[in-house]
Structures are given as structure tokens and as C-alpha cells.
Structure 1
Amino acid sequence: MSEQSIIRIPPYHYIHVLDQNSNVARIEIGPKTYIRQDNERVLFSPERMITVPPRHYCIIENPVVRDEDSVPLFDEFGQVRLRHADQEIRLAQDPFPLYPGEELLKMVTPLQIVMSNTALHLQALLDFEDQTGEKRVAGDEWLFEGPGTYIPRKEVEVVQTIQATVIRQNQAIRLRARKETKDREGHDRVTGEEWLVRKVGAYLPGVYEEVVDTVSAYVLTDKNALHMRASQTFRQSDEQVRKTGEEWLITMNDAEAYIPNVNEELVGVVTITTLSSRQYCVILNPIGTNGKPQLGQKRVVKGEKSFFLQPGEELENGIQDIFVLSEEQGLVLKSIQAFVDKDSEGKDLPRKPGDRWMIRGPLEYVPPVEVEVLCKREAIALDENEGIYVRDFKTGK
């Protein structure tokens, strides 16, 4: 506050003068020499006007009310009229003073430049109509995508700055919808729905989309496969419907690199099973022609062969060697269930459960699933004066 009677106001400066009789403050703008009256008080020394350069802005609180020609309006007491509790954003213009009651809420600040692959998440605080004629209501959210310069509005709040997510080869991003919306491909999404975006490049999530995770592809070779399970019913890209809980394999024949869908979960990685020409194995619960496990069934697989165990299949006793019998060796066999066997001449020979018999070498033998190998026997060499006692299991003799 100055007590001088003569105040020299330079160009682009101003002062506020309070009339102590009417208690009304007014503004005096330079350049001028102001002579203070006895009933007046100068509230502060001359201050420089506010200058907003190009590509800058400031926020004024309690701005003055202006007419169509931008001339300030006054009330019946000569006091400038204000829009109390309101704000006004002022862009580049000639230097201007602050009228009594106006406050500089935010200093002169550069406008925000939104780069490429970047966006501002905006939210409407009040109902308004933007420059394009689109009406916004309080609570609306939208994106201002770069490149561009964002011009702030008093009705709009900047929630956050969103960066694009870069999707590389053999990668995808998992998105979730925060509320009902349309994705960038025009598909309708419901609240909570998740989906994958596999297109290589920079992806900028929509206003109601959030990035859950970045998913990397599993690289497949001829030695491994992926054991997948459906977490819920969905339709694959090949129009095949997968039911909840269904399991299947993904091999190199299906894809060289595989990214699981949002409705798929990886159970494990299955390695290939390889049999040589002298090996075999017994598979429990083999997959039938309908693609479903045949529970309680068995299947013998002979080498030379390589294959993947399907979901639900397992090896009974691992990989086993084929029985190779010489002339002096034999196998004692037992029938587990009824089946039709072949004799040495190729004729059908019915076998009943519990039947026991022996086969003699030389031969290579792979027992079928209906047969159990009890033991392997060697020939007993006897001299002219030697013999052995043999007991029949059935008669006891």
C-alpha cells in the first residue's frame, strides 16, 4: 500500500484504488500519472499486466463479466461484476490487468503437447458443447489423441496421460473393458470382458480399455507340444467350439508360435514320446475316434514311432523293450480277458480269462493288451542219465 499522493503508472502496468467512502475498488491503467484523493487508498504499487505468449495459457478465478464486445460490466455501485467461484482460461492475447476480485489461479503455463502414440484421458466436470458441436455431459470420458496441442477447458479435467503399448512379433496384449464400449475394430465389448490384440505395432487403449498384461507366444518345435484347457466355452478361430474344461494339444503342425486365448489356460508342456524298433508301450485311456478318452481301455503302440500323449492318456509301465526269444527261451502268458489269438499256423484260437499258455522262440513278441506276461523261462539241459520232476498245476500230479 502506498501513501504517495502522486503515483506514476508506466505502460502495461496497473493499480487498484479503494474509495473509502463507498468501499468500492476500481482499476487504473497506465501509462498515466495518478493523483490520489484524500478519501482514496492505493491497494498496491503499480504491477505489470499479465502477458500470455503464444502456445501458453493461464487460469483466472472469479473472472469479470463482459458484454458481447468484451467490455467489463459494472453494477449499480460502480463495482465490476464478477462470476464468483467460476474460472476462465485465457490463451495468447494482449497484456491484460486483473480487475478487483480477480485472482490468477494458475500462472502462465505452456500448452500441453500430446505426442504421437500418446493420448490424454479426459473427463467432463460440467455439461457443455465442444467446438465440433458434440454435447458432453458431466462424467463423460474420452481421449484426446496425439499428435496435437491440447487446449484446456474449465469444464474438462485431465485424468491421466496414456502411452501406447508396443506389440512385437510373437506378442499380444490382454485388454479388459472397464464398461460397455466398442473396441478399435468395432466389436462390442461388455463390462469385464477380456480379449487379445495381436497386431504388431503400437496400440493405444481406448478410454474404457485397460491393459491387463503383455502375453508372449510359446515357441513350438517338433519335440514339444502345449497342453491347453478351456476355462470357459468359446469358439476358436477355426470355428471349433471348445467347452469349459475341455483339454487338447497344440503342436507344431497347428502353429510355430502360439499365444493362448483369454479363455485358454496352459496346463503344461508335453514332450514327445519316441519308440525305437525294439520298444513298445501301453497307453491307458487312449483317445478314440470321437476325440474323447476311452476310459478303462488300453492300446499297444509298437516302435519305430514318435507321438505325443494326448490329454488324459498315460503310459502304463513306461517304454518297454520287445521280448526277443531264442530257441531255448519261452514266455508263460496269461489271458486277462477273452480274445481271439492266433496259433502257429495262423488259425483263430479263442482265449478265455485266466488261460495260461507258453510261447517258444525264436521270435519277437509284443504282448497285446489282453495278455499278461507271467515269467520268462529258459530251456533246462539234461544229460543221458538226468531227469526232472514236473508238477501239473491243475491236477497236482
Structure 2
Amino acid sequence: MSRVISVPPFTFIHILNNNTNISQIEIGPKNFALQTNEVLITEPCPMVKVPPGHYCIILNPMRYIQVIQIMEISKYEAGKFCELKMGQSEVRLNGEPFPLYPGESLYGAENFGKTSKDYSSAIKPLPVIPANHALSVTALVDHDDGGVVRRAGDMWHIEGPITYIPTVEAEINKIVEPVVIKMDQVLRLSAKQDCIDSSGRRRVTGEEWYITEQGAYLQGVHENFLGLEEKITLTPDTGYHLGATERLTDFMGKHRLPGEAWLVTGEQTDLIIPQIEQSLVLYRLSITEIFQVNKRDACLLTYIIIVPGEKLESGIQNTRILSADETLVLQAIEDFTDDLEEVVFSEEVIRKAGDRWMITGPLEYIPPIHVKILSQRVAVPLSKNEGIYIQNIRTGEVRSVMGQCSYMLQEWEELWAKILSDDVEELLSGSGEIRKLAYYEQSIDPKILQGRNKTRVVTYRCPGNTAVQVYNYQKKTARVIFGPDLVILGPHENFNVLSLSAGKPKVPNALKSLCLLLGPDFITDIIEVETSDHARLQIKIAFNNYFEIDSEHEEKIFAVPDFIGFACNQIGGKIRGAIAQVPFDKFHRNSLQVIQYAVFGVNSSKLQFDVNNLVITSLDVQSIEPVDRKMRDSLSKSVQMAIEISTSSVEAAASHEAQRNEQIAKGNLERQKLANERNSERERTKLLELCAMTAAVESTGQAKAEAQANAEKTLIECHSEIEAAKLKAEAMTIEHNAKLLSQIQMRRYEIDYLRKENELELNRTKRMAAIEINNFENKVNALGVETLKAMARAGPETKIKLLQSVGLESMLVTDGNNPINLFNTSNGLIGASQTS
């Protein structure tokens, strides 16, 4: 390490003398040579420069000993005769750059001079407090603040506009912004501790009060902001309930007791300003509207007048206006005479408590207090093939009404909901597993997919070539509907749900269906049989079927609920019986003949079941497989050997073909290699030519490249200077625009201030004029009209009497239109006489 340290201008270093254990500071520019007993403890660091409008805090600042004031040496040369004020601080503002003496440090940048040379975090701007703002400050130690003694922990506000210079005795908390109180608002405050508010009134801890003056209000240091509250504006049709928690005198001059509530309406005042004075608290109970009852409206009052403690029952109720297709179902709460019926029928109708009756429109109806409206009904429009279920609540009878019509329920009738089983609901909606879904899609009603209306008559579209059975539980009868047709269920009817077998082999009750397919159709099943030599086989069969319809006994086709399972069991039993009598070899050779003979017999081509008129027309054997695993394995082995033989022959042919293709490919590969070598030599020749040309260019182009590089360097430098000039111009433009914008904002604020000041002066003038007018009117009202008339006539009457006394009673000068009296003449005479 070099013992000579170069200290640039405006930098400093700290040197420690190991013999004396004293540190010293050296200021640049200079080259400082370290002695053998000296150690560099701080590398060259820049001096601290505080810009205008900023400050910094020095911890453990140094102070000069008295000897320094006597010696005629510079400040920095006398640094060796100074000492530190440990534990103290010092605020430094804008001035000449200064170094940090050994032991000093910057608050906020304690590592400056040790591990860092950046002190920007320690330089802070001076707090600028705008107008109507304040700076909250807390005293750290006891001190004298311009003649005011501050104690540690005291808080106070410094109001703007001002630039605050911080001190080490006080800590800056925050800038307090004003609260803007609008025209229809008041500010609610409370005291954090005993204090004096802005109006000079003493407040105790916890006390609350309101500020009603409009404008910006600066919150005190011991004032707690509770919020802005809106003034309560009353209109002619609204009121307000007020309540007192302690004794108070309201704005009308009435004394109120604790717990008392009263009503204030828009007729009494148009504005309620919240106030909190000492122990008085006004609080809001509820807003009361003055209910306007229109010509066609009505309301039922629980009490007579809406005052505190009273309420409306069911609110304002509109007049029931009924059209021609609407009715009201009414019930009497107590005995009364029906005025409406008296007007309509010209006779007195007495209603007993509990009576039900119905009135039909068109009319306007206001229910009396003795009548309860049970429901308002509308005529139900029904199109063709639509209907509703209706129940008589007197007798309990249920019936259905079908369209095309519009039906109005009577007062003793109600809509009746028909409940169906889950299976029927699922089949009607088409969400269940339906046999031959594509065929039955036409039977699904789109309206049911969105949810069935249980009061509507249930309908079902029976597809063509199908039959549906409906059972009436009241009459204990059944009827059959053949498709295509529309099935309409009565109130006591329900569908006969078919529970059919499905799957291969058939599984009972695996399929639900409402309609029976009449055929022709086919059924597929797998049955297990055993030959006479005990060979067990699985046979997959398919047979066609249809139903023969007997017009006299149509319900016979529904005699067997599961016709599929019945047919499969009957046919399977016949096949098992026939195969059990023949050996496996015979059955294997004549399987189709054996099965058809077992089902249809010798001379017949169909099989009919008399129990439900089901006819089987033809039968097909789709597959026969042994059930025994050993037999199945032996058959599979024989089949596998045949497959292996055929596979070997195919593999031999494929191997020969592959060898031939391989030889062809090798020949093509050798030919391609030769072509590639020829092309490679041709490209190598071109490469050598290019290398020779490159060497020539390289030898002659170095000077040219250097010249081009120099030219580009010069061009880049010129462009950089141009860009720098542009950026400087843009910076100056931005700064000018910012200053211009600031001046525009200041002028705008001044204009707004003058406008508001003029508005306030105009309002004051208007109010003074109103006060003068009221004063004059009060004086006139106090004196009276007759008194004023008498005062006005007092002068002329006196003059007339004086003229009469001197004999000038009728001396009047007139032109026939406007008489002129001689009062002025009398005034002259009287004045002359008084002078003489």
C-alpha cells in the first residue's frame, strides 16, 4: 500500500496518530504522506454540500476550543484544536461544502465515510407549510422556543404559509391538512385533553362540539376529528324525530326533558343543524315522512296521527284496480255491512266474520278495515289441449277444465296440484333411460323440460304404433290409448309404467317405459344351454315380434308388465329343452334347425302367446360359444395354429421382398455417395478461390477500415452533442412550462378566493337589506297604519285651522282640475309674524 495519499479538491481524509491516539482531518487538494506512526482511517470522501432549501443533522458535532479564536489560522487548519459534543446534534443549512470531523456523522447516513461515500439519504428538504396547513411538532427536551417554554413531550402546531427550519430540540410529526366544511356540513370534534379551542373556549377531556362555519378549518393539536355530518334539510312533506338525553332548549325555545321525543316538520324550519353544548345531546331516532294519500290510494293507521310512537300498518296501500279478467277473493274479519254490495245490488248485505266472497272487475276497490284480501286472481287462458286441475275447498271434489277457453276460479275453488311418481316425472321429462330413445323423442314435451306446472293437466304425446294404458284409481277402470294420439290425464288417473327387462343376458326391471311398442320389433338375448353329453354353450339369439290387437280386449296387451322378460324366458326354456336331448356334435352341425324346431315347431313359422297376444315371427342365431374354459381353449388353440401357419407363409414372403428391397437400396446408396464426392470437390474449389480473394481484400482494406472507424467515431460524437443540446432545450422548456403552470394555478386560486369573498360580501349585503326591511316592517306594524296616517295629516290640518282663524278658509287658487292651497302663503305669514 502506498504511503502517499492523493486528496482531490473538496474531499477530506481522517488520519489517526498511534502515538498520541489523536485523529486529524486533511482537506484537499493535496498529497498527504503518512508517517510511520499514522494510519489512514477514512479514505478520501466528498465534502457534504447542502443544496438550497435543504438541511442535514450532524451527530456529535465538534466545537472549537477557546485557543482557536486567538490563533490567526483557517478554520480547517485549526481543526486539531477542537473537541466533540458527544450525544448532541446540530442542524446545518445551505452553505459552503464542509467536511466531517473525526467522530462526527450524518443522521440518516451513518455509514458515510466508513463503508459508503453516498450521503444523499441524509440531505432532506426543508418542510414547506402551505396556507391553511400546519406542521405538528413534538418537543424532545425542555427548551425555550422564541420566548415560549416547551417541555419534553409537548406538542404544538406551526401554521403556514412558512418554511420551517428544524431544530434538534423538536421532532417533526406530520403536516396537518385542513378540513373543508361545505355549505351543508358541520364538523364534529372532541378534546383529547383539556385545551382551548379555536374560538377561545376552554374544553375538557372527552368533550364534543361542532364547527358550523363554512370554509377550511385547521384542526388543533389536542382536537380529535370525529367526522363531517350533513345538515338535515326538511321539505314540506318530510319530518324528523328528535330526542333529548338531557335537559335542553330546542330551536323553538321549548324546554325538553331527558327522554322526551318530538317531531320537527318542514313547516317549522327548513334546516336542522346538529349542536352539542355541554351536556346536551340531540340524536336522530327515525325519519318520518308525511304520507300523501292520492285519490286512488289508501293507508291504514294504527293510531290517528303519525307522531313519535305511532306507525303505519302495512304502509301505503294502492287502490286495487281490477280489469275485466281479474277478481278479488275477500274474507270478513268481523261482522259488518258491505257498502259496495249495497251500491251494486241496491240492498243491504251483512257479512259475518269468516265469510268469503269474490268481486269481479272492472272496478276500483278500497278495502275497509273489516275486510281482508285473501288473493287477487286472474282468469287462466287455456288453449286447445290445455287444462287445469281445480278443487272445491267446500266438498273436496277435484275436476279438470280443458280449453279452448278462459276460466276464472270461484271463491270456493283453488288450483289443485297433481302429484306424480318419480318414475313418471322422469319419463315425462325424457331424462330417464328410455327404450329406443330416437323413436320416442317425439313424445317429449319441451315445456316439461323446464319444469312441470303441477296445476296444469298432464298430457303425453303417444308415438305412432305404440299404446299407453291409463288407470283411474277412483273408478277402478283402465283405458288404452293407441298412438299417434294425445293422452290427457284426469285428476284421478295415472300412467301404467312398464318395467321391462334389458341387457344381454336380460336383467329384470332394468328399463322403464310409459308406452308399449306394438311392433314389428326385435329382441336380442344370450341364453346358456347344455347338450345331452353335458357340453355347456352360450347362444346369442335375436327374434322379431309384434302384438296382435283385439278390438274387444285391447287391455290384453298389458296383461304381462314385462313382455320382454316373459318372451325371453319362454323361448329360452324351449331351446334348453330341445338342446338337452341332442349331443354336441349333432347340435354343432344342425344348430339353427334344432333351435327353430324347438321354438316354432315343425309346420309353423310363428309363435303366439295368448296371454298378451305377443307374436314371434322369426329367429336368428348370431353366435354360439362354449361355456367350458377347456373346450374354449382347445378351439382357440386350433384357430391359433391355423393363424400361425398363415402368418409364417406371410412372413417368408415378406422376408424375400425385404431382401430384394435391401439390395436396391444399397445400389442407390453407392450411386449417391459418388455424386456427393463430386459435388464436394466442386465446392472445395470454390472455397479456395474465395480464400484467395479474402486475403487480397484483407491486405488492402485495413487502412480503409480504420478511416471508416474514425469517421463513424466523429459522427457519433457529433450526434451525442446534438442530442445533449436537444435534451437541455427540452429540460428548459419543461421547467418554463412548470413555472407557467404554477403561476396559472396561483392566479386561478386568487380568482377563486376573490370570487368567494365577493359572494360572501354579496350575501352579507342581502342579509343586511333583509334585516333593514324587516326592521322597517316591524316599526310600521308597531306604530300602526292609523297612527302613521294621523302623523302624516298633522301638518296640513294645523295649517288649515290657522287659515280658518284669520278668515282665509276658502281662499284657494285652482285651474278647475288641481286645487292649490295657500299653505305656503300661510307659512310665510306665520314666519313673518314670528320674526316680528
TM category, shorter: 0.5 to 0.7
The equivalent of 1:61 in structure 2 is 59
Say if 2:208 is the partner of 1:194. Answer: yes
Q: For 2:63 and 2:184, how far apart are their aligned partners in 1?
A: 60
The equivalent of 2:263 in structure 1 is 249
| Secondary structure class of the residue paired with 1:93 | coil
Q: For 2:82 and 2:45, how far apart are their aligned partners in 1?
A: 19
Instruction: Quickly say closer, same or farther: Cα 1:276–1:10, change in 2 above 3 A.
Output: closer
Check whether the contact 1:80–1:99 (CA below 8 A) recurs between aligned residues. Answer: no
- What displacement does 1:64 show? 1.0
The alignment's C-alpha RMSD in Å is 3.8
Instruction: Quickly say closer, same or farther: Cα 1:230–1:54, change in 2 above 3 A.
Output: same
The equivalent of 2:195 in structure 1 is 181
The equivalent of 2:138 in structure 1 is 123
The equivalent of 1:310 in structure 2 is 307
**What does 1:137-216 correspond to in 2, within 5 Å?**
137-216=151-230
Percent sequence identity is: 37
Q: For 2:83 and 2:229, how far apart are their aligned partners in 1?
A: 59
Q: For 1:230 and 1:67, how far apart are their aligned partners in 2?
A: 72
1:137-159 CA distances to partner (integer Å, 9 max, x unpaired)? 11111111222212111111122
- What displacement does 1:193 show? 0.6
- What displacement does 1:282 show? 9.5
Which of the two has greater strand per residue? 1
Q: For 2:251 and 2:160, how far apart are their aligned partners in 1?
A: 34
Check whether the contact 1:178–1:208 (CA below 8 A) recurs between aligned residues. Answer: yes
1:172-211 CA distances to partner (integer Å, 9 max, x unpaired)? 1111110111111112111101111121111111111111
Instruction: Quickly say closer, same or farther: Cα 1:141–1:276, change in 2 above 3 A.
Output: same
- The structure with the largest alpha-carbon Rg is 2
1:263-305 CA distances to partner (integer Å, 9 max, x unpaired)? 111111122256899x999996xxxxxxxxxxxxxxxx8xxxx
The equivalent of 2:234 in structure 1 is 220
Check whether the contact 2:185–2:229 (CA below 8 A) recurs between aligned residues. Answer: yes
- What displacement does 1:134 show? 1.3
Q: TM-score, normalised by structure 1?
A: 0.65
- What displacement does 1:242 show? 3.4
Q: TM-score, normalised by structure 2?
A: 0.33
Q: For 1:264 and 1:181, how far apart are their aligned partners in 2?
A: 24
- What displacement does 1:59 show? 0.9
Instruction: Quickly say closer, same or farther: Cα 1:227–1:17, change in 2 above 3 A.
Output: same
Q: For 2:106 and 2:257, how far apart are their aligned partners in 1?
A: 63
Q: For 1:192 and 1:68, how far apart are their aligned partners in 2?
A: 55
Check whether the contact 1:25–1:79 (CA below 8 A) recurs between aligned residues. Answer: no
| Secondary structure class of the residue paired with 1:51 | coil
The equivalent of 2:286 in structure 1 is 268
1:4-49 CA distances to partner (integer Å, 9 max, x unpaired)? 3322323322111110112211111223332221111122332221
**Which segments of 5 or more consecutive residues in structure 2 lack a partner in the other structure?**
109-121, 317-336, 349-836
Check whether the contact 1:170–1:257 (CA below 8 A) recurs between aligned residues. Answer: no
The equivalent of 2:16 in structure 1 is 18
Instruction: Quickly say closer, same or farther: Cα 1:69–1:52, change in 2 above 3 A.
Output: farther
Instruction: Quickly say closer, same or farther: Cα 1:105–1:212, change in 2 above 3 A.
Output: same
Say if 2:89 is the partner of 1:87. Answer: yes
Look up the equivalent residue of 1:61 and give its one-letter code: L
Instruction: Quickly say closer, same or farther: Cα 1:44–1:223, change in 2 above 3 A.
Output: same
Check whether the contact 1:170–1:259 (CA below 8 A) recurs between aligned residues. Answer: no
The equivalent of 2:629 in structure 1 is none
- What displacement does 1:256 show? 1.8
Say if 2:128 is the partner of 1:113. Answer: yes
Q: Which has the higher contact order (CA 8 A, sep 6+)?
A: 1
Which of the two has greater helix per residue? 2
Instruction: Quickly say closer, same or farther: Cα 1:276–1:62, change in 2 above 3 A.
Output: closer
Check whether the contact 1:226–1:268 (CA below 8 A) recurs between aligned residues. Answer: yes
Instruction: Quickly say closer, same or farther: Cα 1:241–1:89, change in 2 above 3 A.
Output: farther
Q: For 2:236 and 2:107, how far apart are their aligned partners in 1?
A: 67
| Secondary structure class of the residue paired with 1:95 | coil
Q: For 1:268 and 1:12, how far apart are their aligned partners in 2?
A: 75
Count of residue pairs brought into register by the alignment: 301
Look up the equivalent residue of 1:175 and give its one-letter code: L
Say if 2:39 is the partner of 1:41. Answer: yes
Instruction: Quickly say closer, same or farther: Cα 1:66–1:178, change in 2 above 3 A.
Output: farther
Q: For 1:67 and 1:267, how far apart are their aligned partners in 2?
A: 75
The equivalent of 1:362 in structure 2 is none
Instruction: Quickly say closer, same or farther: Cα 1:41–1:188, change in 2 above 3 A.
Output: same
Instruction: Quickly say closer, same or farther: Cα 1:53–1:275, change in 2 above 3 A.
Output: closer
Q: For 2:197 and 2:250, how far apart are their aligned partners in 1?
A: 19
Look up the equivalent residue of 2:132 and give its one-letter code: N
